[in-house]
Structures are given as C-alpha cells and as structure tokens.
Chains A and B, each alone.
Chain A
Amino acid sequence: MIDKTAIVHPSAKIAEGVEIGPYSIIGADVEIGEGTWVGPHVVIKGPTKIGKENKIYQFASIGDDPQDKKYKGERTFLEIGDRNSIRECVTIHRGTIQDQLITKIGNDNLFMAYVHVAHDCVIGNGCVFANSVAIAGHVKIADFVIMSGMCGVHQFCQVGAYSFISNASIILKDVPPYVMITGGASPTVCGLNVEGLKRHGFSPASLQSLRKAYKIIYRQGLRAVEAVEVLRSMETDCIEVKALADFLEQSERGIIR
C-alpha cells in the first residue's frame, strides 16, 4: 500500500506488497522488492535497487549523491539486498566513477539510527552497526561484523568477517577477521571475538587453531609477511586460519595491532 501523500516517480518499479508511508519520496530509477516496508518521510533517490523484506524507517535518506568533491552528477548506483533493517536518519550514498560506480549492501544487516554508509562501500551480510557509526568511502566490510556506537572507519579500510569493534573506535587500518578491537581514537586488537565465534557455531577445534594463529600474528613480534609464512606452514586444515592468512596477504593498508 502506498500512502496518498507519498510521491513515487513513474519510472520507479515497486513490487507487490510494498508499503510506503506518508510523505516519503521514491525517485526515478528506484526498484523496491516484495514485502519491503518504507516508513514515513523517507527519501530514496535512484538509480537504486532495494531487495525484499527490508524495513526502512523515518528520515532515512537512501541513494543520494556521494559526498565526494569530485562528484559531478554522473550516473552511479546503489544496491541493497534483502531483510535489512535501516533505522531513523540513516544515510547511504551511491558510488562514484573513480571507483566501482556502485555501493553494495548484502542481506540481514541492521543499521541503527544515524549510521552513515558512504560511496563505493561493499557491506556483507548479517552485520550490526550501532548508532552513529560512520563508514567512509571505498570501505569493504565482510559478513557478521558488529560495530558498536560512535565507531568510524577511514576510507579504503577493510574489516574482516566476525570481527567485533568496541565503542567509539576509529578504524584507520584493516581489521583482520575474528578479532576484537578496542581503544577509541587509537585502537588496538584485544583478543579473538570468542563469544561471537561461539554464537555463530564455530567448533572448539577451530577456536583452538584460531587462538594459535592469533598468537602467531600478535604475540611473536613478527611482521605481517613473516606471520603469513608461519600461518601457511601451520599443520591444520582449519579454513579460518587460511582466511586469516589470505586477509593479511592482500591487506594494503596494514592491519591494526
């Protein structure tokens, strides 16, 4: 049901069963999938594709121009998957032509109030972003990441899967998967995200291998390149350890220690 005070551009493709609240604006080239609920006073600008069963609350601004001084009105995109919850005043921007043209968001994420997702970000699935988290341009965030309130991520950083970032941390370098970060404006690693890993059903054997891997990376004074070599030579079939080594190898900004 579309409220009579909402404005929907004729070129927008709104699927069956989509609800759009009073005073919301759906711009040109917007596609909204089945069962998505759009609250009152929401602004969605295209070209934007939104999947199924998302919930978008009041005052969210989705698919507006990238906050980039180089942006000159080019046609760039935003894609949002299924079952995401986008709370009040969240801002999610489209991509830029200097990078990949598109900002991409996966499925089952929760964006709490005032969260900002900038141009060209790629966000995985099942993540939680607490209030006022700001994610700068070109950032890549993998699956099941939890970012606490007031966290910020510097542009071009990567955040690995199942990591946990505690409140007000400012991420300036890459965060490997499975770890916890704390320390506000000068953050450090403070161990494995054991509770998070247990909740996601990681086996005790995987946890044990990950503990060993963690010590290799953080407790033996090795450089990242050396740590990767030791991780590769570890006699384990634990895929998580391999994922850690892969992450370290491709990290361009270096990792938080």
Chain B
Amino acid sequence: MIHQSAAIDPSARIHPNVEIGFNAFIGPNVEIGDGCKIFPNAVIFQNTKLGKNNQLHPFAVLGGDPQDIGYKGEPTFLEIGDNNIFREGSTINRATTKADGVTRVGNNNYLMAYAHIAHDCVVGNNNILVNYSCLGGHVILENSITISAYCAVHQFTRIGSYSFLVHATIAEKDVLPYVIAGSRAKSTATVHGLNIRGLARNGFSKDAIKNLREAYKVMFMRNLALEQALSELAAMQSYCPEVGAWLEFIKASKRGFIR
C-alpha cells in the first residue's frame, strides 16, 4: 500500500508488495524489493537499490549525497540487501567516484537511531550499529559485528567479523576478527580480549574458542614482535582455521591493526 501523500519519482521501480507511509519521499532511479516497509517521513534520495523485507523508520535517509567536499554531483549509487532495519534518523550515503562508485550494505543489519554509514563503505551481514555510531568513508565492515553506541570508525578502516567495539571507541586502525576493541582506559583504542560471548552465540565450537584463546595469547599477551607472533600463528593454522582468517586479514591490512 502506498499512501497518497508519498512523493514518488516516476522512474522508481517499486515491487507491488511494498508499504510506503505518509509523506515518504522516493527519488529518481530507486528500486525497492518485495516486502519492504517505508514508514512515514522516510527518504530514499536517489540511485538506490533496496532488496527484500527492509524497514525504513521515520526520518531515516538512504542514498543521500556523499559527505565529501570533493563530490561534484556525479551519478553514484547505493546497494542494500535484504532484511535490514534502519531506525529513526539513520543515514547511509551514496558513494563518491574515488572508488567503484557504489556504497554497499548486505543483509540482516540493524542500524539503530542516528547511526551513519558514509560513502563507499562496504558492510557485510548481521551487523549491529548502536545509536549514534558512525562509519567514515570507505570503511569495510565484515560480518556479525557489534558497533556500540557513540563509536566512530576512521575512514578506510576495516573491521573484522565477529568483533565487538566497546561504546565510544574511536577505531583509527583495523580491528582483527573475533576480538573486543575499546578505548575506555586510553584515548587510543586497544584490544580488550576475545569476543567469547559473541563467538558462542554465533555457534563457534568450544574447541575453536579454546584454540582462539591460545592464538590470542600469542598475538596480544606475550609481547612478541609482530613477525615472531605471525610465524607462531602460522604453525597453528592447520588445527585452527580462525587463525588463518587473522593472517589473511593482517596481510590485507593497509592501516595496521589495533594491538
């Protein structure tokens, strides 16, 4: 059902089973999939593709211009998967032309009120962004990550799967998968431990968690030089595939990672 007061651009492609509320705004070149609910006063600005069963709560804005002073009105895009929830006042910007021109968000993500995803971000699946948290431009968020309230992620930073950012953390470097990072005691973020609860909830076996604890000690607690830690970890790879994920992550890391 589409409310008569909603302003919808004729170029928008909207699945017949989409609910659009009072005074919502759907701009040009927008595609909305089956079962989406666009609540009153929500905005999908332009050039945005929305998958199935997404919810847009009041005052959420998807596909707005990138917040980048170099942006000169080029056509850029936003692509969103399925089953995401965007709460009140949350914002996701389109990309700039500095990368491939598309901001991407996967499936089952929950953006709580006022959360922000900037231009050129790549967000995976099952992530939670708690109130007021924001991702800078070009950030890569992998899967099943919790970003707590008031967190900020620096541009070009990568956050690994199953990690947990403590409230008000400023992540200026990459965060390894499976860890808890925070800046509670110091102004720069440090790693606080393994995200044991998150791993258990996501079905990691007891053995896997035990092995990860061992790997964690090698990486973070024995004051080893990085090269030495990496060579010890490489030996663990055969029985602990999660360590393999760490090694690949570190190889791809351009900014260095929080240790």
Interface residues of A (CB under 8 A from B): 5, 7, 23, 25, 41, 43, 59, 61, 64, 67, 69, 89, 91, 114, 116, 132, 134, 136, 150, 152, 154, 168, 170, 184-186
Contacts and interface: CB of A to CB of B under 8 A. Distances in A.
Contact of B184 (A61, A116, A150, A185): A185
B120 to A, nearest CB: 26
A82 B223 CA distance: 58
B110 interface: yes
B89 A170 contact: no
Contacts, number: 78
Q: Mostly helix, strand, loop or mixed at chain B's interface?
A: loop
Interface in B35-53: 39-41
Interface of B: 5, 21-23, 39-41, 57-59, 87-89, 110, 112-114, 128, 131-132, 149-150, 167-168, 183-185
Nearest to B87: A67
Contact of A61 (B22, B88, B183): B88
B38 to A, nearest CB: 13
Contact of B150 (A5, A69, A152): A152
28 contacts: A5-B5, A7-B5, A7-B22, A23-B41, A25-B21, A25-B41, A41-B23, A43-B58, A59-B41, A61-B58, A64-B58, A67-B87, A67-B113, A67-B131, A69-B128, A91-B87, A116-B113, A116-B114, A116-B131, A116-B132, A150-B150, A152-B149, A168-B168, A170-B150, A170-B167, A185-B167, A185-B168, A186-B184
Contacts of B168: 152, 168, 170, 184-185
Nearest to B185: A186
Contact of A154 (B57, B131, B167): B167
A9 to B, nearest CB: 11
A42 to B, nearest CB: 9
A154 B110 CA distance: 18
Nearest to A7: B22
B150 A134 contact: yes
B131 A41 contact: no
Q: Which 10 A-B pairs have the closest CB atoms?
A: A43-B58, A61-B88, A185-B168, A134-B131, A91-B113, A91-B88, A61-B58, A25-B40, A67-B112, A152-B149
B184 A134 contact: no
Given A61-B59, A154-B167, A185-B184, A136 B149 contact: yes
Contacts of A89: 59, 88-89, 114
Given A7-B22, A67-B113, A69-B110, A134 B149 contact: yes
B22 A25 contact: yes
A185 B190 CA distance: 14
A244 B153 CA distance: 40
B99 to A, nearest CB: 30
Most buried by B among A25, A114, A136, A154: A25
A43 B131 contact: no
Given A23-B22, A61-B88, A91-B113, 16 more contacts: A23-B23, A41-B23, A43-B41, A61-B59, A64-B88, A67-B112, A67-B131, A69-B110, A134-B131, A150-B150, A152-B149, A152-B168, A170-B150, A184-B168, A185-B183, A185-B184
A89 B60 CA distance: 11
Most buried by A among B21, B58, B149: B58
A8 to B, nearest CB: 11
Contacts of B131: 67, 116, 134
A150 B22 CA distance: 31
A67 B58 CA distance: 14
Nearest to A185: B168
Contacts of B132: 114, 116, 132, 134
Contacts of B150: 134, 150, 152, 170
A78 to B, nearest CB: 14
B122 to A, nearest CB: 23
A114 B131 CA distance: 10
Contacts of A7: 5, 22
A132 B168 CA distance: 13
Contacts of B114: 89, 114, 116, 132
A183 B183 CA distance: 13
Contacts of B167: 152, 154, 170, 185
B59 A59 contact: yes
